[in-house]
Structure 1
Amino acid sequence: MKTVLASLNAKYIHTNLAIRYLKAYAAPEFDVELAEYTIKDPEMNIVTDLFNRKPDIIGFSCYIWNIEETIRVVKMLKKINPNLFIVFGGPEVTYDVPEWLERLPEIDVIALGEGEETFKQLLASLNDGRSLDSVGGIAYINDDGMLKVNPQPNKLDLRGLPSPFRFKEDIPHLSKRVTYIETSRGCPFSCQFCLSSIEVGVRYFDRKKIKDDIRYLLENGAKTIKFVDRTFNISRSYAMEMFQFLIDEHRPGTVFQFEITGDIMRPEVIDFLNKEAPPGLFRFEIGVQSTNDQTNELVKRRQNFEKLTRTVTMVKQGGKIDQHLDLIAGLPEENYDSFRNTFNDVFALRPEELQLGFLKLLRGTGLRIDAKKYGYVYMDHAPYEMLCNNVLSFDEIIKIKQVEDVLEKYWNAHRMDYTIEFLVQYVFETPFDFFKAFGSFWEKQGWSRIGHQLDDLFKRLNEFLIHENIEQLAIVQAFMKWDYLINQRYKPRHSWWIDGICKEEKQKVLHYISVNPHVVSGEFTELNLTDKDLFKHAAVEQFPFSMEKYLTNGEILAEPEYGLIIYYGDTMEKRTFFFSKSQLEAVLTARK
């Protein structure tokens, strides 16, 4: 019987690790095809492709981000071919099985939990025409119309699992997509909002096999490898061994991502990484979720924020590893003011990325079971996001979502770091208050419903600041201009502002410094640039304070200054130089 394992991924760059484990485990007895799509693909296209493969059995990997799209695909497939045998598996359908089978008669079998052994047994039974009674870890409606749930088999010895990475058809895509890898399953913690808390204990894969797989992936062009272990650093010795291995084996351009528990990270591990890891090789994802002690206690989350802060700070000081910190709005007893404090606590650490998510009441989690206790109202369908609870209204959820919108565009995208840093330090009371005010203004202007280019982001922030009538507007606009210029790969043809120095003045400045480069610096003189070079590759702008002094020591010194940026495209780095307005004006006046 021809078998296809399918998945609708959230994005094209993602890959599904689960279906690859199932395929590898089913071999050599069963030759299984893989079929991956995205949730953005037209459903008719997915149905057509699957139909043309002429399968007898299709297994779908189901998660909160793809379940609704997967259901629509399956309903169409079953209408076309009622004899098609449909298997659902994955975390989204492992729980509330009676509800799924009642809601979706199109499903023939649901595979529960860890699926490698279950799926292989299922294929053997279907191919031999045997009863499903002997297949462990499945649920289905039997011939009598009764729900049948077979007990799950014992947990697998992960050390014996075959590699999910040795498929030739994957090789052409390795450099373009994220490769997911796991070195362990399970989680030592019991956070009641997370499915990982349900599985007791942590099991490890064979280290030698994992290393061999990583070498194979790197040799075949993999660029981004993400470890999906729930707590990669639960074992210090294991983490150190893997970090050293990855440092030794890495190729230029490779990035390894990990989910790290920040408060258990030992300082000596961070010292090692700060000294030995090449810049950009590692990326850490750290779930903070909340800094409210009562909230953490209610969800059985053990967290020492002081130690977490130490970890994040040490890593940031090392300057080699980007950090992605997560927050969850809507956890028990965390009201609007408490979440504001949580946000400010975590933003103070200045992570390279701060992800603001909203609580999802996942099937099977303790928090979903206790939803009434905290007054949760949440979506009936995936992703089951909370709408309100006993301490957080829907109106307050909307306000936090507005924060999320501009946070993503203006902090996580790093388009204007100097500007945002000044705003949150000196203009608004707290970072949350800035993002909240700007997010509310953004929504009122209707900008959330239209697209935007880079220039639009600067114009919209400028419009907001003018509306707020802030005293330091000229300083903030100067930082905005600086951010705009230094984040360009090439000299911009146009600028979003209209009150800079005029074209004639720019031409005079550029001509003069091409003839008198010593006015800028000795380093600039050594570049030996002509008029033509400067007009083509250089941008010059005037600032109301010394940008050079600020970049050096954070001091705002009221000395008007010119900033010169020379762009070399892909061949050389951008170069920046500064010279005082008074110095240049004096020379230009003397020339006249």
Structure 2
Amino acid sequence: MKTILATLNAKYIHTSLSIRYLKAYAAPEYEVELAEYTIKDPSMNIVTDLYSKNPEIIGFSCYIWNIEETIKVINMLKKINPSIIIVLGGPEVTYDTKEWMERIPEVDFIIIGEGEQSFKQLLDELHGEENFANVSGIAYRDNDSIQIKPQRNKIDLKTLPSPFRFEEDLPHLSKRVTYIETSRGCPFSCQFCLSSIEVGVRYFDREKIKEDIRFLMDHGAKTIKFVDRTFNISRSYAMEMFQFLIDEHKPGVVFQFEITADIMRPEVIQFLNDNAPKGLFRFEIGVQSTNDTTNELVMRKQNFNKLTRTVTMVKEGQKIDQHLDLIAGLPEEDYHSFKKTFNDVFALRPEELQLGFLKMLRGTGLRLRAADHGYVFMDHSPYEILKNDVLSFEDMIKIKQVEDVLEKYWNDHRMDETIEYLVSHVFETPFDFFQDFGTYWDEKGWTRIGHQLEDLYKHLYEFLLHAKKDELLIVSGFMKYDYLRNQKYKPRKPWWEEIVAKEERSKIYQSILQNPLILGKEFASLQLAEKDLYKHTVLEKLPFNLNHFLKTGTIIEEESFIVVHYDPINLKTTVYSALSGELTTKVG
């Protein structure tokens, strides 16, 4: 019976680890074909492709991001060919299984929980006596009734075959994210997370994992993301893996981890700061909330002081980028409490700050006790909350307005100096800036359209004009500085109206040509001819002393000039600044 394992990923660059484990475990007795799509692919295209493969069995891996689209595909497939056997698995259908079987009559089987053994046992029965009562961890139809067989013992992870050795995957490794797990389970009991349901942590064979990582790197994998819920729960294990990755890594490879920051020991961070190549590792840290009452209600143990120590040490090491997560809508976290949480975490200046919204996942303790906190949430995936007893729908809308501008203006690092000045000197708190700007952004309808880089600068400037901030002249100087220094090529037309008149510009350029040392020895060493000076540089005026700011971080309101050189060969951008004979150089 021809068998296909399929899933709809959120993005093309993502890959499904689960269906690869199922395929590997089913071999060699059963040859299984993989088929991956995205949630943005038209349902008809997916159905057409699957139908063309002439399958007799199709298994779908289901998550909150793909379940609704998957159902559409299943319905169409069954209409075209009712004899196709449809099997579902994954976290979205592991809970409320009977409800799913009733809701989707086209589904023949559901694999409950960890699926490797159950799926292979199901294939045994489908190819044999069809006595499905012999299969543990499945739901199936028996005439007009739905039968559910609970899982038995958990699988020994050390016995699982590698999911990374399929020939068809190798050409795509360099273009997609490769997910890898070294453990399953989580030691914590956070009531909003599915990982809290499985008690204990089980580990894969360390040496097999290392061999898989070597294999992946040898075949071109560039981004390898560990999906362990708490990679550093065992310090000795984490240290062993960190050392291995430092010793064995290949240029251009990045490893991403989910870590629990408040349990990471300073000596581990110091080891990474001393030994890890810059950019090799990336940490994802779930802070979620700094409200102690909230954390207690969701059974989340967190020492924010120790978390701060970890994040600060890592940041000072300048080796590892950090992505910190927040969740809006947790119990007893009202709008003002969430504002404090946001400001507490933003004060750490993570490279990325992810603003998420509570999702009432099936099977979680928080969903089971939703009435205790007055939760109202979506009936369909992703089950995002609409309000609770301390956070109104209006408050949720306001917080959502922060999300888009936070992503575009902080996480994308398009204008770091500008945003730093705004949140430190112009607005009362960082949250106030992102909230006020986000509200204005939403009122303008900018959330619904695409934006060029120049548009982002224009939108921010328009907002600041609207907000009537006294510091607009200084902020506009930072915006010009950020815009020019972050370009690889000389911009054709900046987003602002030119301040330096053509005649003044020509005089300054002539002075530079006559005495290049005005801009320092490094600039003079470029030996730019007049044609190159005009062709590959931009001259702009700033309302503050850039030299003094770069040295001290403080503002003196006196005019300075910057000359930005765009090296067309090395794609290197260098900013030179001059004020009364003083010079500074900053390489970007």
The normalised TM-score by structure 2 is 0.98
Question: Which residue in the other structure is 2:27 paired with?
Answer: 27
Asked if residue 288 in structure 1 is aligned to residue 281 in structure 2, the reply is no
Q: Check whether the contact 2:226–2:255 (CA below 8 A) recurs between aligned residues.
A: yes
| Cα distance in structure 1, aligned partners of 2:11 and 2:545 | 44
Letter in structure 2 aligned against 1:268? E
Structure 2 counterpart SS, 1:326? strand
The Cα of 1:515 is off from its aligned counterpart by 2.5
Map of 1:139 onto structure 2 = 139
Q: Superposition pairs for residues 245-394 of structure 1, below 5 Å? A: 245-394=244-393
- Matched AA of 2:336: D
Give the Å deviation of 1:555.
1.4
TM-score (norm 1): 0.97
- Once the 2 structures are TM-superposed, how far is the Cα of residue 499 of structure 1 from its aligned partner? 4.2
Partner of 1:51: 51
Residue 107 of structure 2 aligns with an amino acid whose one-letter code is I
Contact 2:187 2:200 (8 Å CA) reproduced: yes
CA deviations 1:504-548 (Å, max 9, x no partner) are: 322332232122111111121122111122112111111111112
Paired residue for 2:123? 123
Q: What SS does the corresponding residue of 2:7 show, helix, strand or coil?
A: strand
Matching residue of 2:586? none
CA contact (8 A) 2:488 2:572 kept: no
Kept in 1: contact 2:376–2:386 (CA 8 A): yes
- Corresponding residue for 1:439? 438
Cα distance 1:416–1:282, how it changes in 2: closer, same or farther (>3 A)? same
SS at match of 2:522: helix
Q: Which residue of 1 aligns with 2:230?
A: 231
The aligned amino acid for 2:576 is: F
Q: Alignment partner of 1:174: what SS?
A: helix
SS at match of 2:326: strand
Hey, what does 1:588 align to over in structure 2?
none
Distance 1:189 1:404 in 2: 28
Q: Report if the CA contact (8 A) 1:224-1:256 is conserved.
A: yes
C-alpha contact (below 8 Å) 1:562/1:581 kept by paired residues: no
Tell me how far apart the structure 2 counterparts of residues 19 and 506 of structure 1 sit (CA, whole Å).
62
Tell me what 2:500 maps to.
501
How far apart, CA to CA, are the structure 2 residues paired with 1:502 and 1:273? 51
SS, match of residue 301 in structure 2: coil
How is 1:64-143 mapped onto 2 (pairs within 5 angstroms)? 64-143=64-143
Paired amino acid for 1:410 = Y
| 1:398 counterpart = 2:389 | no
- C-alpha change, 1:437 and 1:22, in structure 2 (3 Å) is same
| Helix, strand or coil at the partner of 1:484 | helix
Alpha-carbon distance in structure 2 between the residues aligned to 1:569 and 1:528: 15
Q: What SS does the aligned partner of 2:91 have?
A: coil
Matched AA of 1:6 = A
State whether residues 88 and 110 of structure 2, in contact with CA within 8 Å, keep that contact through their aligned partners in structure 1.
Answer: yes
1:554 equivalent in structure 2: 553
Structure 1 gaps of 5+ residues are 585-592
Q: Alignment identity in percent?
A: 68
1:583 CA displacement: 8.4
Instruction: Between 211-220 and 508-517, report the one with greater CA deviation.
Output: 508-517
Q: Give the number of equivalent residue pairs.
A: 583
Alignment partner, residue 160 of structure 1:
159
Q: Which residue number corresponds to residue 6 of structure 1? A: 6
Separation (CA, whole Å) in 2 of partners of 1:447 and 1:563 = 32
Distance 1:569 1:11, change over 3 A: farther
**Deviation sequence 1:130-180 (CA, Å, 0-9, x none):** 21110110012212x112111212101101100000000000000000000
State the Cα distance separating 1:559 from its structure 2 match: 2.2
The equivalent of 1:151 in structure 2 is 150
Residue deviations 1:392-422 (CA, integer Å, cap 9, x gap)? 0000000000011110110011111101000
The Cα RMSD (Å) is 1.1
Report the residue type matching 2:375 in the other structure. Y
Q: 1:39 is matched by which residue type in structure 2?
A: I
Deviation at 1:480, TM superposition (A): 0.4
Give the SS at the match of 1:526: helix
Give the 3-state SS of the residue equivalent to 2:59 in structure 1.
strand
- Superposed CA deviations along residues 272-327 of structure 1, whole A, max 9, x for unmatched, are 10111111100000000000000000000000000000000000000110000000
Deviation at 1:551, TM superposition (A): 1.5
SS in 2 for 1:501: coil
Distance in 1 separating the partners of 2:425 and 2:558: 19
Helix, strand or coil at the partner of 2:256: strand
8 Å Cα contact 2:329-2:391 kept in structure 1 = yes
Matched residues in 1 for 2:462 and 2:402: separation? Answer: 17
Tell me, in whole angstroms, the C-alpha distance in 2 between the residues paired with 1:85 and 1:353.
Answer: 44
Alpha-carbon contact 1:6-1:58 (below 8 Å) kept = yes
Q: Give the equivalent residue in structure 2 for 1:423.
A: 422
User: 8 Å contact 2:547–2:582 — kept in the other structure?
Assistant: no
Q: Equivalent residue for 2:486?
A: 487
Deviations 1:330-359 (A, max 9, x none): 000000000000000000000000000000
Kept in 1, the 8 Å contact 2:15–2:179? The answer is yes
1:560/1:582 contact within 8 Å kept = no
3-state SS in 2 of match to 1:363: coil
Contact 1:560 / 1:581 at 8 angstroms: preserved in 2?
Answer: no
The worse-fitting range, judged by mean Cα deviation, of 205-214 and 573-582 is 573-582
Corresponding residue for residue 213 of structure 2: 214
Partner of 2:517: 518
Question: How far does the alpha carbon of each residue in 1:453-506 deviate from its partner, in whole angstroms, 9 at most, with x for none?
Answer: 100000000000011111111000000000100111101010000042123322
In the aligned structure 2, how far is the partner of 1:510 from the partner of 1:277? 44
Structure 2 CA distance, aligned partners of 1:519 and 1:265? 50
Structure 1 stretch 501-510 or stretch 184-193: which is displaced more? 501-510
3-state SS, counterpart of residue 306 of structure 1: helix
| Counterparts of 2:441 and 2:215, CA distance in 1 | 47
Task: Return the alpha-carbon distance in structure 2 between the equivalents of residues 187 and 153 of structure 1.
Answer: 19
CA distance, structure 2, for counterparts of residue 583 and residue 59 of structure 1: 69
**Matching residue of 2:528:** 529
Map of 1:240 onto structure 2: 239
Match of 1:589 in 2: none
SS in 2 for 1:571: coil
User: Structure 1 CA distance, aligned partners of 2:532 and 2:211?
Assistant: 51
Q: Mind listing any 5+ residue stretches in structure 2 that lack a counterpart? A: 584-588
Task: Give the Cα separation in 1 of the matches to 2:29 and 2:76.
Answer: 30
Distance of 1:384 and 1:340 partners within structure 2: 23
CA distance in 2, matches of 1:320, 1:511: 42
The offset of 1:582, in angstroms, is 8.0
CA drift of 1:256 comes to 0.3
